[in-house]
Amino acid sequence: MDRKRSGHIISRGLEYAITFFLILAINFFLPRVMPGGPLLSITGSQGSDLPVVIDEEMKYKLMDYYHLNDPLHIQFIHYISDAFHFDLGHSIFYNVPVVDILIGRLPWTILLMGTALLLSTTFGIMTGLESAWRRGGKLDHALLVIMPFFRSIPAFFLGAIMIFVFGYKTGWFPTSGAITPYMDYAGPIDHAMDILSHLTLPMLCLTAFEMPGTYLLVRNVCVQQLGKPYVLMAESRGLKERTIKKHILINSIVPVINQIAAMLGFMVAGAVFIETVFSYPGMGMLVYNSFIERDYPVLQGAFIFMSLVVLACNYAADIACSFIDGRAGQE
């Protein structure tokens, strides 16, 4: 069994490595098939808000520095070589190393996605288990209507509704940014509360968008478990409801782990829209701005990093599931 499990882990690792290389290729070619270009953006020829006047000599030097004069296959070789040396290049628009930009934006995205993932997973498991236990009841029917409803609403539209209701109408929460500009904080607690108030709306929006997926999966898996002999035996022995639910959840953990890993990919996509709607200064907002400015190095660096994180989390989930469920090694 250990040999089979090891073979499964290695084969999955090779699959993820091939997937990552394909992502690198798509990441390289996709920005280059878009109309316009990075130099057109920074010189104002593409409607940039910050036009810069450069002469032909400077333009040639920039094109040469970023290998934009080279054929596509030569650009691709430079790109792959730099990627494997963790050299993500220099931003064309921001004029700073791409790594520095990513490091500055990453904490905000980790904060947003981390809290949203924690909340959506926790409440998705709780509501899914309770809905399965009370299947056919009023609570189950209500949740089966509410959850798909939130899942069907586009993330950017849900964000716009929350901004209008909880920002403009009630004034309960800030509608943009991650902190209040030029705020003189009384102490670290004051600073943390300001960050939390700005985080609340985008976090709740991302949570509401992602939680239905976990809820539906947990409910369906737990409903299947309810008919298993061990559950019927536990009920006949008079075990407490809490104890039976605990065993049901333990036996449902493998698909739940896979769902959490899969959610990361959807959360990355959702974060791009939500951070843009709320002007939250994370990776999603950076991708949007870089797309507008055709900043190839930043776009490529951001996509490489986000893809690597998602693939790594999915691979970790595969490894965890192969140890939790021995059947994974026999696939």
**Residue 7 confidence class, pLDDT cut points 50, 70, 90:** confident
Point out which residues pair with 55 in neighbouring strands: none
Short-list 88, 29, 39, CA closest to 63: 39
pLDDT digits (tens, 9 = 90+) for 51-82: 455 566 666 676 776 667 777 778 888 878 87
The reported pTM is 0.74
Output 65 or 20, whichever has higher pLDDT: 20
One-character DSSP codes across 212-242: HHHHHHHHHHHHHHHTSHHHHHHHHTT--HH
Output 265 or 120, whichever has higher pLDDT: 120
Longest dimension (CA), the chain: 85
Q: Rounded distance, CA 42 to CA 50, Å?
A: 7
**How confident is the model over 34-60, as a mean pLDDT?**
56
**Residue 50 confidence class, pLDDT cut points 50, 70, 90:** very low
Contact in structure between 294 and 36 (CB atoms under 8 Å): yes
pLDDT digits (tens, 9 = 90+) for 211-261: 888 888 888 888 888 878 888 788 777 778 788 888 888 877 777 777 777
Output 80 or 116, whichever has higher pLDDT: 116
Written out in words, the top-level CATH class of the domain with range 102-324 is: mainly alpha
Q: What is the pLDDT of residue 48?
A: 46
Q: Which residue has the tokens 């924690």?
A: 118
> What is the residue extent of each domain of the chain?
102-324
Q: What is the pLDDT of residue 98?
A: 85
Q: Rounded distance, CA 69 to CA 236, Å?
A: 76
Point out which residues pair with 97 in neighbouring strands: 90
In angstroms and rounded to an integer, the radius of gyration of the C-alpha atoms of the chain is 24
70 three-state secondary structure? coil
Neighbours of 208 (CB within 10 A): 21
The answer for residues whose C-beta is within 8 angstroms of residue 267's C-beta and 6 or more apart is 113, 116, 117, 206, 210
Six token digits for residue 305: 């990093």
Q: Which residue has the tokens 């490894």?
A: 319
Lowest mean pLDDT: which of 43-47, 105-109, 189-193, 324-328? 43-47
Numbers of helices and strands, H then E, in the chain: 13, 0
